[in-house]
Amino acid sequence: MQPKEISISYRTHSRKDSLSGQDQLLLEKAREATSNAYAPYSKFYVGVAIRTLDGDVVAGSNQENSSFPVGQCAEKVALYRLTHELGRKPVEAIAIVVSNEHQTNPASPCGSCRQILNEYRNFQEQPIRILLGSVNSQEVIEINDVRDLLPFAFDGTFLGI
C-alpha cells in the first residue's frame, strides 16, 4: 500500500499592507467585529467579515455563554447572518481576526467551524479564500480555499445525497 500525501498552499504576509485594498478592508471589518464579541469567560474575542463575489460584506462575532457548548463561534454567526440577510450568495473571501492578550498570532477556526465553512463551500464552484489575522500582529495568513482546512470533511455524499 502506497502512502498518500495531502498538501495545502498558503501565504504568510508579514504586513497587512501587502494585501489588496479590498482584503485590508475585510480584515478591518473583522477587527471591528471583535468589539461586538461577548467573551467574558475565555477573553478570546473573534470577529469575522465575509465578502461575497458581488462585494457585499457581512460581519459576525463570537457569543459565549456560561454553559460553554451553548455559545456560538464568530464564523457561524457571520455565515448564518449572511444566509439569513442575503441568501446563499457565493462567497469570495472570509477574514477571521482574533483579539486576546495571550494570542499574538492569527488563529485558525475550530473543527466545528471548519465543517460549517466546508458545507457552505459545497454550494459554490469557486474557492473561498480565508484571511487569518490578529489584533496584536501585522501578520496575515492567506489560505487559498476553505477546503484546505479540512481535507476529509464530512459531506452529503456520505448520506447518499
Catalytic residues: 75
CA distance 79 to 130: 13
Q: For 20-90, list the strands marked E by DSSP.
A: 45-52, 57-61
Question: How deeply is 80 buried, as exposed, middle or buried, from its count of CB atoms within 10 A (0-12, 13-18, 19+)?
Answer: middle
Question: How deeply is 78 buried, as exposed, middle or buried, from its count of CB atoms within 10 A (0-12, 13-18, 19+)?
Answer: buried
Residue where the block lists cell 465553512: 117
CA distance 98 to 34: 7
Q: Would you mind telling me the total number of residues written for the chain in this entry?
A: 161
Q: Which residues pair with 11 in a beta bridge?
A: 142
